[in-house]
C-alpha cells in the first residue's frame, strides 16, 4: 500500500468542534494521491457504496457498512416513533441508545460523534496510507456539516421548501410563523 508521509504530516489536527476549509482539504488530498487511490477518494466523496463494497480499500468497505447500519437503524427507530412498521430493524445498540434521546440536535451530534470515533477506530493502525486520508475526509465532512448549520439558514431553507415546493398553495403565512417563533 502506498504511503503519503508528506501529505498526512501536512494535515492539521482536527477536533470535533473545530472548523475546516473542506473544499481546500478535499482538493489537496485528491491532488496528492495516486490515480488509483484517487478513485477511492472519489468513491467516498460521491457516496458510491456499491463501488466501495467491492473496492480494495478496507476503510471504504468497513466505513460504508458501518454508516449504512447507522443510517438504517436511525431511520427505523424514527419510523417506529411515528407508528410506521419497519421490518428487519438492525441491531446497532449504540445507535439505539443515541436515538432514545429526546433532542433532535443532540441525537444528531451524538451520531456524528459515534461516526468520528469509528473513523478513529478504523484508522488506528493506518498512519500514512490512503485509509488514513479517507478517514480524515470523513471527519472533514462531519465538520463541514456542523459548521454549515445556522438558525437563520435553517429558517431560510424551511421557507424556501414551503414556498417553492408547495403543492397546493395552502401554506399561508408560514414565513411569518417561522420568524415569530424565533423571536419569542
Instruction: State pLDDT tens for residues 8-59.
Output: 999 999 999 999 999 999 999 999 999 999 999 999 999 999 999 999 999 9
Residue 104: predicted pLDDT? 85
Q: Who has greater pLDDT, 15 or 75?
A: 15
Burial tier of 133 (Cβ tally within 10 Å: 0-12, 13-18, 19+): buried
Neighbouring CB atoms inside 10 A of 135's CB total 22
20 sits in which H/E element: none
Is it the case that residue 82 has pLDDT exceeding 80?
yes
- Reported in sequence order, the residue ranges of the chain that DSSP labels E, i.e. its strands, are none
Amino acid at each position: 500500500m502506498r504511503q503519503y508521509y508528506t501529505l498526512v504530516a501536512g494535515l492539521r489536527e482536527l477536533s470535533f468542534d473545530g472548523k475546516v476549509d473542506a473544499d481546500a482539504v478535499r482538493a489537496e488530498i485528491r491532488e496528492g494521491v495516486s490515480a488509483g487511490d484517487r478513485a477511492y477518494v472519489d468513491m467516498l466523496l460521491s457516496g458510491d457504496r456499491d463501488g466501495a463494497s467491492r473496492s480494495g480499500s478496507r476503510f471504504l468497505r468497513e466505513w460504508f457498512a458501518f454508516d449504512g447500519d447507522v443510517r438504517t437503524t436511525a431511520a427505523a427507530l424514527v419510523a417506529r416513533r411515528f407508528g410506521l412498521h419497519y421490518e428487519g430493524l438492525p441491531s446497532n445498540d449504540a445507535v439505539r441508545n443515541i436515538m432514545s434521546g429526546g433532542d433532535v440536535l443532540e441525537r444528531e451530534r451524538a451520531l456524528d460523534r459515534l461516526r468520528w470515533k469509528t473513523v478513529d477506530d478504523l484508522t488506528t493502525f493506518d498512519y500514512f496510507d490512503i485509509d488514513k486520508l479517507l478517514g480524515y475526509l470523513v471527519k472533514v465532512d462531519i465538520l463541514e456539516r456542523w459548521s454549515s448549520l445556522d438558525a437563520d439558514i435553517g429558517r431560510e431553507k424551511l421557507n424556501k421548501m414551503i414556498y417553492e415546493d408547495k403543492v397546493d398553495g395552502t401554506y399561508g403565512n408560514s414565513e411569518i410563523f417561522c420568524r415569530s417563533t424565533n423571536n419569542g
